[in-house]
Chain A
Amino acid sequence: GDSVTQMEGPVTLSEEAFLTINCTYTATGYPSLFWYVQYPGEGLQLLLKATKADDKGSNKGFEATYRKETTSFHLEKGSVQVSDSAVYFCALSLSGGYQKVTFGIGTKLQVIP
């Protein structure tokens, strides 16, 4: 079946450090890929997305590139802030029919001043 594998957290970084959260996927078809973010006490919200190979999704300084050859969608940010502390979920969805979203387990990021 379809699945998403994320690096386990928590990840603790100092402010202005470089962030990478790894994500790889397995899918029976050609998926769209997403990163969702969950801030403390809130629901998940979409951070960025990519729909085809080599697409780069970006938002709020975060980026991720859809790599079909390595089935990966790693999340990066050049300089993290304390306000980026949250849980980050990698996810995939296959087009057509039942558009179920398959989520990874989530990676908790803590940024310290």
Chain B
Amino acid sequence: DAGVIQSPRHEVTEMGQEVTLRCKPISGHNSLFWYRQTMMRGLELLIYFNNNVPIDDSGMPEDRFSAKMPNASFSTLKIQPSEPRDSAVYFCASSLSGGAPYEQYFGPGTRLTVT
């Protein structure tokens, strides 16, 4: 199994530009999570999808952030316009919900730098 795939691995952009991060979950998993990791705030859950439907987006910082999951094998996290304070590592994770306990499988992350 290839694991959770994220692209790009690194992104450097200028303030005001649109940024799109991509994630391919593990085949067969029906839950997908987007996290943001910074030194100051640690690991924050941004949004959670179950069966492609957003269930909890209370962690999305503001309207500049949006996430979609058009099908079971692809999700995007978009920031428009980007700001320097968005600089962080963004992780995508997937899992198979319905049983307990379950574990989340993380991708390698996208390191975003906004200048």
Contact = CB atoms under 8 A, between A and B. Distances in A.
Interface of A: 32, 34, 41-46, 49, 51, 89, 93, 95-96, 98-101, 103-106
Contacts of B48: 98, 100
Interface residues on B, range: 20 to 34
Interface of B: 4, 31, 42-43, 45, 48, 50, 55-56, 91, 93, 95, 97, 100-109
A101 B104 contact: yes
A44 B91 contact: yes
11 contacts: A32-B100, A42-B109, A43-B107, A43-B108, A44-B91, A49-B101, A93-B102, A98-B50, A99-B31, A103-B43, A105-B43
B76 to A, nearest CB: 18
B43 A42 contact: no
A106 B109 contact: no
B108 A51 contact: no
Nearest to B44: A103
A89 B48 CA distance: 20
A43 B4 contact: yes
A94 to B, nearest CB: 8
A49 B101 CA distance: 9
Given A99-B31, A106-B42, A44 B102 contact: no
Contacts of A105: 42-43
